[in-house]
Chain A
């Protein structure tokens, strides 16, 4: 396994429901990342379809299936992670991520926690994932796990992935602006995300790679700010705020060793989990 590799953060905006148009943008970015020698190129949550789909969520799965094949074919020698609407059974839909490589779909990971508050209404459309869906992918570069947006606002998915062996956890996201107040101009959402990503990285001693959408979808606006956080909570790459961007950041797995030698990451009291299960 390579100890040092690069990841391309493809911080794009999507056209709602227009998979064909979004596919074009994916193919451009995959090619750009490939040419730059990146090991991974990562797109935001529901990148092939847009996020604020509402009832279009029922109507894009077939187009996504075709688009996945095209992106997989384009992913020659590079791992691509993107977001799409999956239809595992007729009429059942999932907000999902796919890992693609050398023409193949290596895996599909649905979202565990579906937000259903404020502007979010994912439970109306999607079936949530369960622990049976937890997967750690053994790639050429790293053992990795994939989460989707709200999954990271709960400690369990990242903790489970780390305990299953993931050293790098990707979080693809569609986080919209909310509470654009305050003298320093960061929204409430951004401030929370910074804290949560840092926490997940430190508590699990993993690299957290966050790719958010940038751009408008109906009234909402996704604020971008994609980032790579090292296992000691240091921001090692950062994409623009509000704008689409393409940033390449470095992941150095040697850092895991140093950080884990000075961490209680390996300690795990099952009793807490037994108690939580009963509550």
Chain B
């Protein structure tokens, strides 16, 4: 069983159209801002955003940390070069020292604590720069990662908009190819690069091809885990582990819970649309 195919041309037109409308018309912003890591998601997002807004209305920030590899910085710069982002619209801001200062004040941090802190420092910088440019922060997360909660809450999750949020990683790869994202970026193993040697598939214990098919069958075809196991020929334990990741990270995908007191409260029966007049 394969994921349903994607018409990259039409889907990219669709996302581009929505991005343009959201940033310029609805949000009344002057531009979009995003962090470019040298990975496939941020590269694909940057290509789409450049199509939607034009390179002059896109601000790209490379924010290398302690665990960022030199080749990723080069790839990020290549994306910026290919998109012809004007010099005034891109910047490399190393964050190792910033995170180091915080570590000095916070004492010894575990690997995950430092990783989350790093992601949140990036988020804070992106919002600061975006505010200065009257831009909104365009996130780069894809559907696979959002669904299993493979992101830092208020870190890379702290964005205004997620244009790839409806696309599995498998589909992002297809779209990246169509858009002309450099092959090297498409082929290299995805990583949040929050600590040395980290790769997404290594940390998750599953490759994206399998993960995407499990997620699609469970949540779009509504199959139960046993049926998914039968259809894909993967161990039941693997499917169960994915389901657990989805469930325990539900809080990351929703606004904070508010305890009900009044007649109408947030998250309960405060049901106004996002676009309110």
Q: By the criterion CB–CB under 8 Å, are B4 and A53 in contact?
A: no
Q: By the criterion CB–CB under 8 Å, are A55 and B272 in contact?
A: yes
| Shortest distance from the beta carbon of B236 to any chain A beta carbon, whole Å | 27
A55-B271, A182-B7, A242-B13 given; A221·B277 CB < 8 A: no
| Shortest distance from the beta carbon of B95 to any chain A beta carbon, whole Å | 32
Assess whether A264 is interfacial by the CB under 8 Å rule: no
How far apart sit A217 and B22, CA to CA, in the bound complex (Å)? 10
Q: Which residues of B contact A185 (CB under 8 A)?
A: 7, 9-11
How far apart sit A217 and B26, CA to CA, in the bound complex (Å)? 10
Q: By the criterion CB–CB under 8 Å, are B5 and A182 in contact?
A: yes
Q: By the criterion CB–CB under 8 Å, are A217 and B13 in contact?
A: no
How far apart sit A217 and B275, CA to CA, in the bound complex (Å)? 7
Fill in one digit per residue for A209-229: 1 if any B CB lies within 8 Å of its CB, else 0: 000000111110100000000
Q: By the criterion CB–CB under 8 Å, are A17 and B22 in contact?
A: no
How far apart sit A15 and B28, CA to CA, in the bound complex (Å)? 14
Q: By the criterion CB–CB under 8 Å, are B9 and A182 in contact?
A: no
Q: Which residues of A contact B271 (CB under 8 A)?
A: 54-55
Contact residues of A: prevailing secondary structure = loop
Cβ < 8 Å to B, chain A residues 1-22: 15-18
Q: By the criterion CB–CB under 8 Å, are A52 and B273 in contact?
A: yes
Q: By the criterion CB–CB under 8 Å, are B21 and A215 in contact?
A: yes
A185-B10, A221-B14 given; A17·B26 CB < 8 A: no
CB < 8 Å: which of A16, A180, A216, A221 contacts B276? A16
Assess whether B17 is interfacial by the CB under 8 Å rule: yes
Q: How large is the interface on A (under 10, 10 to 19, 20 to 34, 35 or more residues)?
A: 20 to 34
Assess whether B241 is interfacial by the CB under 8 Å rule: no
How far apart sit A18 and B269, CA to CA, in the bound complex (Å)? 21
Assess whether A89 is interfacial by the CB under 8 Å rule: no
Assess whether A261 is interfacial by the CB under 8 Å rule: no
User: B13's closest neighbor in chain A, by CB?
Assistant: A242
Q: Which residues of B contact A160 (CB under 8 A)?
A: none
How far apart sit A85 and B276, CA to CA, in the bound complex (Å)? 16
User: A18's closest neighbor in chain B, by CB?
Assistant: B277
Fill in one digit per residue for A176-217: 1 if any B CB lies within 8 Å of its CB, else 0: 010111111100000000000000000000000000000111
How far apart sit A93 and B11, CA to CA, in the bound complex (Å)? 36
Assess whether B111 is interfacial by the CB under 8 Å rule: no
Extra contacts besides A50-B275, A221-B18 (20): CB < 8 Å: A15-B277, A16-B273, A17-B273, A52-B273, A55-B270, A55-B271, A56-B272, A56-B273, A56-B276, A177-B14, A179-B4, A181-B5, A182-B4, A182-B5, A183-B7, A185-B9, A216-B26, A217-B275, A218-B274, A243-B17
